[in-house]
Structure 1
Amino acid sequence: MIRHYFKIALRNLRKNKLYSIINIGGLCLGLTACILIMFYVSHEHSYDKFHADSTRIFQLEGMTKFRDQTIYMQNFSPVVAGAMVEKSPWVEAGLRINYEYKPLIVKTVEETPQSFSESNFFYTDQNFFNFFSFNLLQGNKETVLIRPFSVVISEDIAKKYFGNSDPIGKKLEVLKDSTYQFQITGIVENSPSNSSIKSGLITSIATMEKMKEHERNFSSQIFQGGSFATFLKLDNAENLKAVSKTAQILSKQANTQSKDEYLLEAFGDKHLKSRKDIGIKYLDVFPLVAILVLLLALINYMSLTTARADSRAKEVGVRKVNGANKKHIALQFYMESALYVSLSFILAGILSYFLEKPFFNLMDIEIDGAFFFHPVFLAILGFIYLITILLAGIYPSLVMTSFKPIENFRKKSQEKFGGNMVRKICATVQFTIAVVLIIGGFIIKQQMEYLKTLNTGLDRSEILMVPLQKSIRDNSQAFRNKIEKIPGVRNTAISNNQIYDGYDIFYASAKNTESVALPLMQVDDNFLNILDVKWKLEPANDKLITAAKKIVINETAIGKFNLSKDPRGEFIELAGSKQEIVGVVKDFNYASLENPIDALGLKISKRNEFSGTGCLYIKYSNRDNLPELISNIAGSYKKYDSEAPFDYQFMDDKFNALFKSEERLSRMFSLFIILTIIIAGLGLLGLATFSAQQRVKEIGVRKILGASVFQITTLLSKDFIKLTALAVLIASPVAWFLANEWLQGFAYQTKIEWPVFFLSGVFAVSLALFIVCFQAIRAARANPVKNLRTE
């Protein structure tokens, strides 16, 4: 029987080529969108769950109150992990990790050394490879991290520095405040893309203890915050609350005045709940939009299938007369939907394979291709496949099984089963979804443009930022002087932290306030000039800003410290030292635009007194010779720093990178808008074709009686245009509500204006008009004699 149903389904597919192409094409596009998006979403949800004991691994977090502020603690003192293992019977093992947050210069110890800047460098306990499930390819996991200055490197690092030769036993030099030699004791497999711990260079905490610059990390020997990420492996996840309570008790024992609160975050959930990860900000939106696109394709299928109910009515009637019951009829139509979905799924799989890299490049994400075979993703694919078959076949089977055999032979059944109304509803829903996505895409792009062109209080144009590593520290002034002599360079400045990439925080207080957190930037006396930061209240003397124990603040800091309108001459207590306020600059954005501008302090040094690593800002004037300018800067850099590779970034690009999540959302909407238009257009084309075929004799009679092509085209088109206009009316308030909710997440918002809705509506109606008129004109120009002869 199944074989018989399959043959009938295949025969109908071949017989009705146009409808088959529309159905399969629409489903293929919808499924492709679902596959690619769910591939990304399932990958994000699988983070850190590949570890054998992932359900029992937790990361310690804490909160502490300081005045009116809540401070979140992600790192703890070096004794916390050991204390939790010792004092809590439910903790099997503890692990500490300390990351180098700035890139380090690493080079080989050979006759022709190679050096690179490395970001993934961290210190950890010797049980690292027992605690986590990273695959150690060479070395003994029990001993590779026991000795100080031993290091385990990833496959990529091994290949980069040593090619195909065996690196075990060889040495690497790492430049920090001093130069240290590390011996390679192991090679670890490259960490998968769904790992939040990236393998690079892994060394022991015993190494940290031997480094003078890390002495402060071990200065605290009590249970409190510090610099070590602390992981705990529990005997059973159900003991979570008991372990958290133990942390609370230990904190109180260490400091009876402590108000710290501790909790354990499941390591496998950490990635999705991270407050800093902007890449997953809209993770819940992506599958929703993918489902909407697939829903459009399913509506097409159901709409076109029920549109052809009349042509199948007699077939169903004959089957029922010959003894087929509702179950058999339903099975037949489910078999047809399974055939269409299966073909669409195969094509979608092929299309996804070829679109994988372009799609991930467009979305600016990296995922291992091997994840296609991950059990979670395969299970999701299976679910999508089955639910698509179910949804595609459910309505057609209900309609067809409800036919009564005698009535099927006597009259048409479209009106009885509301086929015409169902098609109208389907068409309206399709274009409503399409218009909502189109309006949403417009507003997202509008908001992106608004943020990029927003007056942030400084000039970002024509500024090149060059990070200064520790290896150039003694030569930074000479390098800067050399850069300023290059044609096209107008000026330079230095800061200790790259703007938009973090800042130092100190607790400060004024006469009328208690201590509050104050972001602080250390800059030279050319910084304000280069970035065109305006003065609100200028110093009485230009030399004051670089004098000892003087500070410049921004406008917001006046309110935060309850200072007078002109606070010049007043003092701020900063890090145990009184700092006199000598000037106030107008507010400018130095961090993310997601939040309003916070208070800021500027410690300004004279040009020749600025020392340390940081960022060199190069103001240039000639865009036409930019490649030559960058080449000259790179050449000069290599003369003064032969160890660290030259790197640079345009300040505009750094600013635009703040909107990575929004940019990704915008790209996704652009892609899905195209898919939506194609799918909705295909569905409308199929319905217009069906409508013209249903009225072929009417068209023939009208033409014989003198009706023009324009009149017939208008007759066939007006109903569809009305439905599209209705969809625009429904979609506009829905889109406004969703867009307004989305914009509430921004401190700076664009205005939602009526032209967006008008243009989206005009586009949707024009698209519908073009598709319907194209088919209507074909029908209107057909030979009426031939149409009247056709039965």
Structure 2
Amino acid sequence: MLRNYFKIALRNLVKHKVFSFINIGGLAVGMAVAMLIGLWIWDELSFNKHFANYDRLVQVMQNQTFNGKINTQTAQPMPLGYELRSSYKSDFKYIVLSSWTQEHIIANGEKKLSIEGNFMQAEAPEMLTLHMLKGSRNGLTDPSSILISASYAEKLFGDEDPIEKVIKLDNRHSLKVTGVYKDFPFNTSFRGVKFIGAWDLYVTTEPWLKRALTSWGNNSFQLFGQLAPNADIYKVSAKIKYSKFNKIKLTDDVVGTSFKPTIFLHPASKWHLYSEFKNGVNVGGSIEFVWMFGLIGVFVLLLACINFMNLSTARSEKRAKEVGVRKSMGSLRRQLIVQFFSESLMIVSFAFVLALVFVVLSLPLFNEVADKRMIIPWNKPVFWVIGVGFTLVTGLIAGSYPALYLSSFQPVKVLKGKLRVGKLALLPRKVLVVLQFTVSVVLIIGTIVVFRQIQYAKDRPIGYDRNGLIYSIMKTPDIVNHYDAVKNDVINSGAAIEMTASQSPVTEVWSNSSGFTWKGKDPNSQDDFGIIGVFYDYGKTIGWQFTKGRDFSKEFKTDTTAFVINEAAAEFMGLKDPVGEIIGSVGGPERYKIVGVVKNMVMSSPYNPVKPTLFYLNSGRGDVITVKLNPKVSSKESLVKIETIFKKYNPAVPFEYKFADFEYNKKFGAEERIGKLSSVFACLAVFISCLGLFGLASFTAEQRTKEIGVRKVLGASVMNLWGLLSKDFVKLVIISCLIAIPIAYYFMHEWLQRYEYRSTIAWWIFIATVIGAMMITLLTVSFQAVKAALANPVKSLRTE
């Protein structure tokens, strides 16, 4: 019996090639979208789960109160790590201090590579359950040791065994390779860690790190832990809550205690998906996108199933006689239902195979857009189990309405040709089309709002000229030690017109400070300024825009104790005429005179207000060299010249640089990924919805064949008939828009609240979407409408 069902279904597919192509193609697109989103969601939900102790792994975080507002941060003081180790050792199996992931130069003879990595305490490999390929996890007990990832071990040593080999770090430290570990997966918070250096070496590399050993106010480090087997994360968080605050009180740190720091633990299960905090409370994070794209996947697949229903019922009269004959020969309704479900499952199976092809072809591009490294798990049985289940569920959903509808025909009426479908019979299909276009319109509006928000932030005045601006982060002091000579050579080469150095790149603020005093300061007010040390000509190089005062100048020796501040700092301090005012330090002798005010520079997030920032002269420390390229010389030629000069003074370190405009644009990466993915899904949803309209238009034209023939005989023009058949669909789209607009407005308004610097939802977005939806509708249904209007009325009436 089933064999007969499949044979009939296959014949119908071959006979009606266009409908078969649309049915299978529409389902395949919907299933492919659902598969891609499913892979993406699985990747997101499995973040960090490769750790063997995933459920015990935590990060130590803190809340600080700033002028009545609670800020949450991951940065911790170094002494906190030692305090938790000694006073709360029964609650933790491991406590590990870590630096931030930064680039360093590692050299093996003449082979030099720039590698990102961390310095961690010796227990880190055990806590992170490193998969050691060579060596052991206790390889960091010696300060002169280092662990490297398998990928970079191969780049550095090729086929040689790297164990016990000596490499050079930042041209300063000779370190022995004591272990090679398997690279961290891409979907982990540590994916950029390509080497792990010994913590004891790190804390002796710079004088400020030695001072940080006892400084409770220096929040410059990360702190991770693994809970003891029987420890409860909430109880431990409550225990350690005031561990920092109590220590600060003992040091009489007035500024530190005013921030009322409280410590808590953040589990590994929430590092990625629940990373956002507002006023000290976890408000979610990437989990919102998981829900959003999950719903999009469900809706897109549902749209494809709706198409199948519409296209199947559109051909109802062509299958009516078949149903009538089968019933008159003794077929039961349940047998007909099984037949139509069998056809549905066969079509969905073909669509599943085609969907797999679509996924294989599109996955590389999807990975690039989504910033993922996903693969299809062909060799995992669970994938095929889910695939078969997915196909069955889709087949049952898609085939449910046609099976129940077609099997309900009465054989007597069908065989006498008296089958008539009233207006109420069209209602379910109209509702389905309204649902389709409602989803599509919501996605279109959402995509426009996302891209508009991105463009709004991109068009924001940034307060400096980033054109032709490059910077290089110094990994060794050699260039700064020969700064004047390097600068002269670079300028004289014609490659650049300006050069300077600073403690932060122009696209970031690396250091904050508080505890300043000024005239008229509210004694209850708390301050937290970005603070950046710069060399002379910093302003000329990046294009500072002064609103008051002047730049630093060698003509004024007192500028070594001067500040240039931004507008945000002047506003925060309440200084109407800041130039000449003195800024002091609580408990310290330092006094700085304000010599200039510059326009706000967007150095951090382009979506947030500019942080109050103080700039001061610090010609002794230049972590970043910034160069303004000569606009009259090609960038390629200029960079070759600059590289030659840098290698002359620092041959041991590769010349690496970043364009300021490129790094600034990277700040929009997350939003642009969401926008691109949303636009792709919106286009696919519109495409699938148009197939639904095509199905309903075909069904309507088929049902009104006699009416169209009579109207043509009575003199109706093609235009009249086109309008007659099209107006119903326009009404459906208008209803969809009326439903979609308030839904889209609500969700996008909530999404925009994530950003302090945000655009508005303009009225024209809704008007443009409605017009676009109506144009798409008319283009879609016009083919069927015009085809029906041009049909020979004699043939139509004779057929009836």
The TM-score normalised by the length of structure 2 is 0.87
8 Å CA contact 1:593, 1:747 repeated in 2? no
Q: Which of residues 761, 775, 779 is equivalent to 1:770?
A: 779
Provide the residue aligned with 2:442 in structure 1: 436
Aligned pairs (5 A) from 1:732-751: 732-751=741-760
Provide the residue aligned with 1:352 in structure 2: 359
Q: Deviations over 1:665-688 (max 9, x none)?
A: 221133223312322222222332
Tell me, what secondary structure is at the counterpart of 1:617?
strand
1:188 matches 2:195: no
Provide the residue aligned with 2:685 in structure 1: 676
Provide the residue aligned with 1:630 in structure 2: 639
Provide the residue aligned with 2:581 in structure 1: 569
Aligned pairs (5 A) from 1:363-512: 363=370, 365-369=371-375, 384-400=390-406, 415=421, 418-470=424-476, 471-487=478-494, 489-511=496-518, 512=521
Shift of 1:386: 4.8
Tell me, what secondary structure is at the counterpart of 2:560?
coil
Q: Which of residues 598, 601, 606 is equivalent to 1:593?
A: 606
8 Å CA contact 2:19, 2:311 repeated in 1? yes
Amino acid at match of 1:74: T
Shift of 1:373: 6.2
Q: Distance in 2 between matches of 1:87 and 1:328?
A: 74
Q: Distance in 1 between matches of 2:391 and 2:648?
A: 60
Shift of 1:305: 2.5
1:639 matches 2:648: yes
Q: How many residue pairs end up in the alignment?
A: 778
Aligned pairs (5 A) from 1:278-317: 282-313=289-320, 315-316=322-323
Provide the residue aligned with 1:163 in structure 2: 158
8 Å CA contact 2:78, 2:219 repeated in 1? no
Relative to structure 1, the CA distance from residue 48 to residue 16 in structure 2 (aligned partners, 3 Å threshold; closer, same or farther) is: same
Q: Deviations over 1:88-134 (max 9, x none)?
A: 586462141412543211111x3xx1112211233232x44433333
Amino acid at match of 1:94: Y
8 Å CA contact 2:273, 2:285 repeated in 1? no
1:621 matches 2:621: no
8 Å CA contact 2:43, 2:374 repeated in 1? no
Relative to structure 1, the CA distance from residue 518 to residue 426 in structure 2 (aligned partners, 3 Å threshold; closer, same or farther) is: same
Relative to structure 1, the CA distance from residue 495 to residue 284 in structure 2 (aligned partners, 3 Å threshold; closer, same or farther) is: farther
Q: Distance in 1 between matches of 2:354 and 2:60?
A: 46
Relative to structure 1, the CA distance from residue 19 to residue 217 in structure 2 (aligned partners, 3 Å threshold; closer, same or farther) is: farther
Provide the residue aligned with 2:45 in structure 1: 45
Q: Deviations over 1:705-761 (max 9, x none)?
A: 554433333333332233334434443444344333333333333344344333333
Provide the residue aligned with 1:118 in structure 2: 115
Q: Distance in 1 between matches of 2:98 and 2:356?
A: 42
8 Å CA contact 2:274, 2:287 repeated in 1? no
Q: Distance in 2 between matches of 1:377 and 1:261?
A: 45
Tell me, what secondary structure is at the counterpart of 1:335?
helix
Amino acid at match of 1:133: T
Q: Distance in 1 between matches of 2:382 and 2:223?
A: 29
Q: Distance in 2 between matches of 1:537 and 1:223?
A: 33
Shift of 1:250: 5.6
The TM-score normalised by the length of structure 1 is 0.88
Relative to structure 1, the CA distance from residue 129 to residue 389 in structure 2 (aligned partners, 3 Å threshold; closer, same or farther) is: farther
Relative to structure 1, the CA distance from residue 613 to residue 646 in structure 2 (aligned partners, 3 Å threshold; closer, same or farther) is: same
Amino acid at match of 1:578: R
8 Å CA contact 1:153, 1:186 repeated in 2? yes
Aligned pairs (5 A) from 1:632-711: 632-711=641-720
Q: Distance in 1 between matches of 2:45 and 2:782?
A: 46
Shift of 1:619: 4.3
Provide the residue aligned with 1:578 in structure 2: 591
Q: Distance in 1 between matches of 2:448 and 2:512?
A: 38
Amino acid at match of 1:570: I
Tell me, what secondary structure is at the counterpart of 1:593?
coil
Provide the residue aligned with 2:234 in structure 1: 241
8 Å CA contact 1:22, 1:686 repeated in 2? no
Provide the residue aligned with 1:232 in structure 2: 226
Q: Deviations over 1:555-596 (max 9, x none)?
A: 222342344544633333278322222322233322212211
Shift of 1:410: 6.2
Q: Distance in 2 between matches of 1:441 and 1:51?
A: 36
8 Å CA contact 2:27, 2:304 repeated in 1? yes
Q: Which of residues 533, 537, 553 is equivalent to 2:548?
A: 537
Provide the residue aligned with 1:57 in structure 2: 57
8 Å CA contact 1:60, 1:232 repeated in 2? no
Amino acid at match of 1:289: I
8 Å CA contact 2:547, 2:599 repeated in 1? yes
Relative to structure 1, the CA distance from residue 308 to residue 436 in structure 2 (aligned partners, 3 Å threshold; closer, same or farther) is: same
Relative to structure 1, the CA distance from residue 247 to residue 757 in structure 2 (aligned partners, 3 Å threshold; closer, same or farther) is: closer
8 Å CA contact 1:84, 1:91 repeated in 2? no
Amino acid at match of 1:159: E
Shift of 1:644: 2.4
* Residue range with higher mean Cα deviation, 81-90 or 576-585: 81-90
Tell me, what secondary structure is at the counterpart of 1:103?
strand
Shift of 1:497: 0.7
Shift of 1:517: 1.1
Q: Distance in 2 between matches of 1:749 and 1:311?
A: 55
Q: Distance in 2 between matches of 1:771 and 1:765?
A: 10
Provide the residue aligned with 1:262 in structure 2: 263
Provide the residue aligned with 2:140 in structure 1: 145
In structure 1, runs of 5+ residues without a counterpart are none
Relative to structure 1, the CA distance from residue 260 to residue 571 in structure 2 (aligned partners, 3 Å threshold; closer, same or farther) is: closer
* Residue range with higher mean Cα deviation, 249-258 or 302-311: 249-258
8 Å CA contact 1:148, 1:210 repeated in 2? no
